[in-house]
Amino acid sequence: MSNKRINALMIESSRCMGCQSCEVACKLEHELPAGPRPVKVIQIGPLQTDNGLAMRYETVTCYHCDRAACVAACPTGAMQKRPDGIVFSDPELCIGCQTCAVACPFGVPELNPATGKIAKCDGCRDRVDQGLWPSCALKCPSGCLSFGTPMRVVNDLRTREALTIVRTLAVR
């Protein structure tokens, strides 16, 4: 196991307002044309429930799996997993065969029609290597996306939840 610092992208879908800032940020960062959407906001509902209608947004992107099926399936070695966990496709090696897209149980890899190569979340590896936040998380206005070590993001979530409960009780 490498000592390289492992970071996680925390997606707190309950905070997502469906604004698609993350999608646009990703397109801008990776100069993607219409078509591939490495991060995607999916609207679910409104569904009829016992308490009226309910609707939420789910932000979905690559899970950067530990044993990534796309990496195992790639015939050219373009799809790789870095020591810090990021799964990315090297455009120099990618031949656009889309075997990874078939192998991925979540349908994440997509073809970039402009280059004929795979477009997939690369964890903003170039930004992360410079110590910057991934573009989607940086441009999320709702606070749904955050970035840091797993310990840090989980602690942050727990602390905020606890504070919300305390404040709600305090102002009741």
Task: Specify the residue, 70 or 128, whose C-beta has the smaller distance to another protein.
Answer: 128
d(CA 110, CA 119): 5
Binding-residue total with another protein (CB under 8 A):
53
Mapped onto helix, strand or coil, the DSSP state of residue 160 is helix
Q: Is 22 exposed, middle or buried (0-12, 13-18, 19+ CB in 10 A)?
A: buried
Say how many Å lie between the first and final Cα of the chain, rounded: 49
d(CA 147, CA 129): 13
Query: Can you tell me which of 67, 105, 107, 170 binds another protein, judged by CB under 8 A?
Result: 170
Of 147, 128, 102, 112, the residue nearest 30 (C-alpha):
112
Task: Specify the residue, 57 or 88, whose C-beta has the smaller distance to another protein.
Answer: 57
162 part of the interface to another protein, by CB under 8 A: yes
Contact set for another protein, span 76-135 (CB under 8 A): 126-127, 130-133
151 part of the interface to another protein, by CB under 8 A: no
d(CA 25, CA 143): 15
Query: Can you tell me which of 5, 28, 76, 102 binds another protein, judged by CB under 8 A?
Result: 28
CB of 83 to another protein, least distance (A): 20
149 part of the interface to another protein, by CB under 8 A: no
Interface segment toward another protein; rule CB under 8 A; list 45-53, 65-73, 82-90, 98-106: 45-53
H or E stretch covering 49: strand 40-49
- Say which residue the tokens 């991060």 belong to: 39
- Say which residue the tokens 């899970």 belong to: 63
52 part of the interface to another protein, by CB under 8 A: yes
168 part of the interface to another protein, by CB under 8 A: yes
Contacts to another protein by CB under 8 A: 15, 17-21, 23-25, 27-29, 32-35, 37, 45-48, 52-57, 126-127, 130-133, 137-139, 141-143, 146, 148, 152, 156, 159-160, 162-164, 166-168, 170-171
